[in-house]
Amino acid sequence: MTTDAAFAELTTRLQRVHALGTVAELLGWDEQVNLPPGGAEQRGAQQAALAEAMQAAASDRRTGELLAGLEANAEALTADQRVVVAHGRKDYDRATKLPVEFVREKAAQGSRGYHAWVRAKAADDFAGYAPVLEKNLELAKREAGYLGWGGREYDYMLDKHDPGLTAAAVERLFDALKRDLVPLVREITGSPTAARARAAAAKLRGFPVEGQRVFLREVTERLGFDYARGRIDVSLHPFCSGTGSDVRMTTRFNADEPLDSLFSSIHETGHGLYEQGLPAAQLGTALGLHAGMAVHESQSRLWENQVARSRGFWRGFEPRFRALFPAQTAGLTGEELSLAVNAVQPTLIRVDADEVTYNLHILLRFELEKKLFAGELAVGDLPAAWRAASRDMVGLEPATDREGVLQDVHWSDGAFGYFPSYCLGNMLAAQLWYRARALRPGLEEEFARGDFSWLLGWLRAEVHAQGRRCDALELARRVTGEELSPRALVRYLRERYGAAEGA
């Protein structure tokens, strides 16, 4: 068998596993958007059957043979082929090295953990949840061990979401960010501008859902989301799933929080644009898959924050916003609207946080996760450690665990190492933003004319079309010419929110 024939067969197999994965995603989307309440159990059975088929396809011995053959002939492969083989190996090992009993135990624990978390949060009962967390931690460490990461368990958890990242690298970045960000947040939130922004934001009330729907559809379409290859629906928590020519986003509406649905939709649009921009012919291999969660978040946050909170963006869209909501915006000046869009207010709850203080919530979680994995912090001591870290970083101390350690769902099903991606995505987004502006100084003027095509075209070429060829660190280096660092993020936050601006 020639190398090319083996590679072609491997590609077909990888794409088949991926296709099954997209079916599972579609079922998940449907569960949150359409499923009648009585259908939950049947859906569970469908998902379980599909998971079994996916596991069988992913661990097929023939795939292992093809990988071994191609690895033995690595010098005959092109650089792109090597990327596909390397990632195929990683996925194959994950599918074959975990004992079946372990996979079963983990799946059962994931569903138990979620329900235990829901109960514990409702009752503000951390003690009832602690055994779940202990178990999840133990399972995570065992999983790392099976895959050859013994002794570097937290590195494994980070690498799962962002290939190539290590705890030491993240720690260096986050320490530098913390040094600048903590005082900057105090400065921003204490400024007279921040108080005026909060007052302006409080004026945005009573926006009919129908008008919001029209506005966000027009905005996201203008940004470049292709509705012939995607759609937007309503769900409890906004998310984006799917890829290629079928990308599903969701949003939610609240008449008194028009900016919440708008910005969360733009955030999901950023994820959607990335998925729509991945090379269609390579879908399902590393050349047609996203490069990890940090890069994904950099795309959502770049559109949500750097673009959609800019003056240029609102110069362009303000007339339409006012035309759709004449009564609601009558008492609002243009300056107030711009302030409301950029209101900053520290909060105890991560998902309610603005783009400035959001990063503090991530720094907090990273420090605690790192200590948990290093054995420096016992699960039973988490609530107190959380309160202390929250006081130290966010400047607020939760009165209940519900507003503290119990607020996030992630740890309930063992998703450790996920949080850092959000903040690393913010760093990368800021770096991409300055690079784009350096290449295209008139960018915001184009936004004011409703033209986002240059920015999207640039991201398509530099980020989307690259698939998984490079990780977040390498991507930063190649696209911006600089190492990933918090410098651009701090500069951006200072420029947009610093006391000097609009005070």
Residues forming the active site:
268
Residue 385 to residue 374: CA distance in whole angstroms: 15
- Which CB atom, from 63 or from 264, has the smaller least distance to Zn ion? 264
- Which CB atom, from 300 or from 390, has the smaller least distance to Zn ion? 300
Shortest-Cβ-distance residue relative to Zn ion: 300
The verdict on 421 binding Zn ion (CB under 5 A) reads no
Residue 183 to residue 434: CA distance in whole angstroms: 23
Written as six digits, the tokens of 317 are 């869209």
Residue 213 to residue 232: CA distance in whole angstroms: 10
Smallest separation (angstroms) from Zn ion to the CB of 300: 4
Distances (CA, A) of 146 to 51, 95, 122, 295: 20, 11, 35, 27
Smallest separation (angstroms) from Zn ion to the CB of 297: 5
Find out whether 180 and 492 touch, Cβ atoms under 8 Å.
no
Smallest separation (angstroms) from Zn ion to the CB of 267: 6
Residues numbered 287-306 forming contacts with Zn ion, rule: CB under 5 A: 300
Written as six digits, the tokens of 340 are 């409301």
Find out whether 292 and 90 touch, Cβ atoms under 8 Å.
no
Residue 161 to residue 158: CA distance in whole angstroms: 6
Residues numbered 63-102 forming contacts with Zn ion, rule: CB under 5 A: none
DSSP track, 209-230: HHHHHHHHHHHHHHHT--TTSE
- Which CB atom, from 137 or from 360, has the smaller least distance to Zn ion? 360
Smallest separation (angstroms) from Zn ion to the CB of 224: 17
Residue 371 to residue 264: CA distance in whole angstroms: 32
Smallest separation (angstroms) from Zn ion to the CB of 428: 13
Residue 398 to residue 350: CA distance in whole angstroms: 12
- Which CB atom, from 300 or from 426, has the smaller least distance to Zn ion? 300
Smallest separation (angstroms) from Zn ion to the CB of 302: 11
Residue 414 to residue 393: CA distance in whole angstroms: 25
Distances (CA, A) of 243 to 40, 269, 278, 336: 25, 12, 8, 38
For the chain, the straight-line distance linking the first and the last C-alpha, in angstroms and rounded, comes to 70
Site string for Zn ion, 245-284 (x = CB under 5 A): ----------------------------------------
Smallest separation (angstroms) from Zn ion to the CB of 292: 13
- Which CB atom, from 59 or from 300, has the smaller least distance to Zn ion? 300
**Residues that contact Zn ion, how many (by CB under 5 A):** 1
Q: Are strands 230-234 and 246-251 parallel, antiparallel or unpaired?
A: parallel
Residues numbered 175-194 forming contacts with Zn ion, rule: CB under 5 A: none
Find out whether 358 and 380 touch, Cβ atoms under 8 Å.
no
- Which CB atom, from 106 or from 365, has the smaller least distance to Zn ion? 365
- Which CB atom, from 137 or from 262, has the smaller least distance to Zn ion? 262
Smallest separation (angstroms) from Zn ion to the CB of 193: 27
Residue 498 to residue 209: CA distance in whole angstroms: 33
Q: Give the residue ranges of DSSP H helices in 147-257.
A: 153-161, 167-189, 192-202, 209-223
- Which CB atom, from 200 or from 353, has the smaller least distance to Zn ion? 353
Q: What is the largest CA-CA distance in the chain?
A: 74
253 conformational bin, left if phi > 0, alpha if psi -120 to 50, beta if neither: beta
Smallest separation (angstroms) from Zn ion to the CB of 362: 13
At residue 242, the 3 state secondary structure works out as strand
- Which CB atom, from 109 or from 241, has the smaller least distance to Zn ion? 241
Please, which residues bridge with residue 240 across strands? 249
Residue 260 to residue 271: CA distance in whole angstroms: 17
Site of interaction with Zn ion (CB under 5 A): 300
